[in-house]
Amino acid sequence: MAVVSTPLGSELALVMDNGGGKSITRRYDKVKSAATDADVYAVGTGISGLQEKTLLAVQRRDSKELENE
């Protein structure tokens, strides 16, 4: 019994310092599944340069559908 995964999409999440030990996450969806991690990271750090808040983390969140073959 094999399980097959089908990519559904990705999103870019920027975790920012919101002060007082709290953080906020800004999400950007519809990232192409074929985009490399390096490209997603570069875009994330570029966007964070336009923000006033301090960047804590760049995350890529992939969604996949799993099916039993």
Q: What is the reported pTM?
A: 0.83
Q: How many domains does the chain have?
A: 1
Q: Which two tokens stand for residue 42?
A: 């570069």
Asked whether the beta carbons of 55 and 14 are under 8 A apart, the reply is yes
Nearest to 40 by CA among 10, 15, 65: 10
11: confidence class by pLDDT, cuts 50, 70, 90: very high
- Say how many residues make up the chain: 69
48-62 as b/e: b if 16+ CB within 10 A: beeeeeebeebebee
Q: Which domain holds residue 27?
A: 3-68
pLDDT tens across 12-46, in order? Answer: 999 999 999 999 999 999 998 889 999 999 999 99
Does residue 7 register a pLDDT over 90?
no
